[in-house]
Amino acid sequence: MTISSSLNAGVAGLSANATRLATISDNIANASTYGYKRAATEFESMVLSAGGGGGGKYSAGGVRASSQRLIDEQGGLVGTANALDLAVAGRGMLPVMPAVRLTGNASGAQPMLMTTTGSFRMDKDGVLRTDSGLVLMGVPADRNGNIPDFSRDTTSGLRPVVIATNQTAADPTTAVSLAVNLPAAETNVGSPGGEIPLQVEYYTNTGTAQSLGISFTPTVPVPPATAASNTWTLEFTDSALGGAVIGTYTLVFDTSGSAGGTLASVTTVTGGAYDLATGAMTLPVAATGGPIVMTIGRIGQPGGLTQLGDKFVPGNVSKNGSPTGTLTGLEIDENGYLMASFDTGFIRRVYQIPLVDVPNLNGLTALSAQTFEISSASGAFFLWNAGEGPTGSVQGFAREGSTTDIAAELTALITTQRAYSSNAKVIQTVDEMLQETTNIKR
């Protein structure tokens, strides 16, 4: 009887709306949950054959509910005060791992989870993790801050991000730039011709300080010469080598109207060759410090070494490097590079946090704590550099808000309640009709 199909349709309607009510309840409950992706329930009608081929009969098929979590929707970013509150602005997810699975370094055998946001802090062991036990995964940099090549379609290159809180680091000096004016009068006939000294401190790979001795000696013309030589001898010594000479150069300065006072030529006597393109030479300082690129300026160009007037003016001596420093803080940039800051002002790249992407985000398996796992419906994952390919950027000092729209959910709650009541009314009506049928016998 078609009346029985009406009863089944009403029951199916109650079940479908109960399912929708469950997703609405979940969405409203997580309206303030960072990184929550709302769930949606869609209804599909079911059509059954009337059977018998005629007579105007119709069998109600009812309705079927299907629920899906809309993982590809993105919540708004909310600013915070913690540098390691992370969120992804755009497509992509942060790789994480439950702390209960952390036994030393992770390997390719460790299951990887994903999340779009997390509030990470260091625990007693220096592991970056959330209060819910999610450990941030990344690719460690080498001691020079370079990120090695790593597998993009497996987790073999990922490691838990572990920061030693009491770590120290040294930043060796690798480049020095001289902007010094030499007195032109010192190269005249009859000038005293004394050496002009200068010292520059540099830092070794071990964080110790050494001195680079620099001396400028003018070439004084001998009578019967009457014109200035405009020539100097530049010499470098290294305190780490007991004051040994590591480079000697002959400098000649231009006296023309267009380029007067600039370098006219640099001749290498000993040490690294002078590079015309960069205006620099490489000095072989002590092995613990490594080579230093010394920039003195290009031929015919202002800046660097000059010869003007009658005074020695060490205008600007700049260098990189710093002594040994202690870790003071961590921040992440938009490219996913985790940077460690030290009290000497030195900043070193320590990890890269890649972003995980899959072909079908909504096919991921949703787990607790706003995490997701690869499934057959999502497709295989790929590890991207943040900001490359389809992925967005990594934002520090930020969390991703819930994608729940309270107004829309409350509206859906009202319509679901009405639909549920209507289906209950259908069941009540069918019951009354069946009762009438039963009363025919009486």
pLDDT tens-digit map of 160-172: 999 987 777 778 8
Same domain, 151 and 219: no
Q: What percent of the chain has pLDDT over 70?
A: 95
Residues in CB range of 135: below 8 A, 6 or more apart? 96, 97, 98, 99, 102, 127, 128, 129, 160, 161
Which residues are CB-neighbours of 423 under 8 A, at least 6 positions away? 10, 11, 13, 14, 17
Q: Report the distance separating Cα 216 and Cα 63, nearest Å.
A: 93
Q: What is the number of domains present in the chain?
A: 3
- Asked whether residue 106 carries a pLDDT value surpassing 50, the answer given is no
Residues 382 and 292 in one domain: no
Instruction: Look at residues 401, 400, 392, 398 and name the one whose alpha carbon lies nearest to residue 336.
Output: 392
**What token pair was written down for 382?**
């790929």
Task: Give me the mean pLDDT over the 286-294 stretch.
Answer: 77
Token pair, residue 225, equals 């010469």
Residue 362: count of CB within 10 angstroms of its CB: 15
| 43-70 mean pLDDT | 77
| Average pLDDT of the residues in 191-201 | 91
Across residues 328-336, what is the average pLDDT? 93
- CA 260 to CA 253: how far, in whole Å? 8
Q: Does the structure show a pLDDT above 50 at 59?
A: yes
Give the per-residue pLDDT at 101.
60
Q: What is the pLDDT of residues 384-398, one digit of tens each?
A: 999 999 999 999 999
| Same domain for 224 and 178 | yes
- At 257, which CATH number? 2.60.98.20
Cα 346 vs. chain centroid, distance in angstroms? 18
Same domain, 36 and 16: yes
Residue 131 and residue 88 share a domain: yes
Q: Which helix (H) or strand (E) holds 396?
A: none
Domain co-membership, 195 together with 237: yes
Q: Is the pLDDT of residue 108 over 60?
A: no
Strand partners, 211: 201
Considering the entire predicted model, what is its pTM?
Answer: 0.73
* Distance between CA atoms of residues 371 and 351, nearest Å: 22
Instruction: Give the pairing of strands 77-79 and 63-69.
Output: unpaired
Position of tokens 């952390």? 102
Last residue of a domain, one of 285, 320, 355: 320
For residue 241, what are its two tokens? 């080598």
At a CB cut-off of 8 Å and minimum separation 6, what does 3 contact?
430, 433, 434
Answer with the one of 320, 342, 357 that is the final residue of a domain. 320
Q: Return mean pLDDT, the chain.
A: 89
User: Where is pLDDT greater, at 430 or 24?
Assistant: 24
d(CA 127, CA 125): 6
Q: Look at residue 430 in the predicted model and tell me its pLDDT.
A: 82
Of 2 and 25, more confident: 25
441 half-sphere exposure, CB direction, 13 A CA radius: 4
Query: 190 and 315, same structural domain?
Result: yes
| Residue 287 shares a structural domain with residue 231 | yes
- Torsion angle (degrees, nearest 10) of CA 366, 370, 374, 377: 40
Q: Answer whether 320's CB lies under 8 Å from 348's CB.
A: no
Last residue of a domain, one of 287, 320, 353: 320
DSSP string, 281-336: EEE---TTT--EEEE---TT-SSSSEE-TT--EEEEEEE--EEEEEEEEEEE-TTS
List % helix, strand, coil for the chain (3-state, nearest 5): 15, 40, 45
Domain that holds residue 178: 173-320
- pLDDT score at 56: 67
Closest CA to 13 of 436, 429, 438, 432: 429
184 in the same domain as 279 = yes
Do residues 185 and 301 share a domain? yes
List CB contacts of 367: < 8 A, sequence separation 6 or more. 113, 373
How many residues comprise the chain?
A: 442
- Look at residue 54 in the predicted model and tell me its pLDDT: 57
Report the distance separating Cα 163 and Cα 327, nearest Å. 10
Same domain assignment for residues 361 and 379: yes
Amino acid identity for residue 111 in this structure: P
Question: Are 221 and 273 members of one domain?
Answer: yes
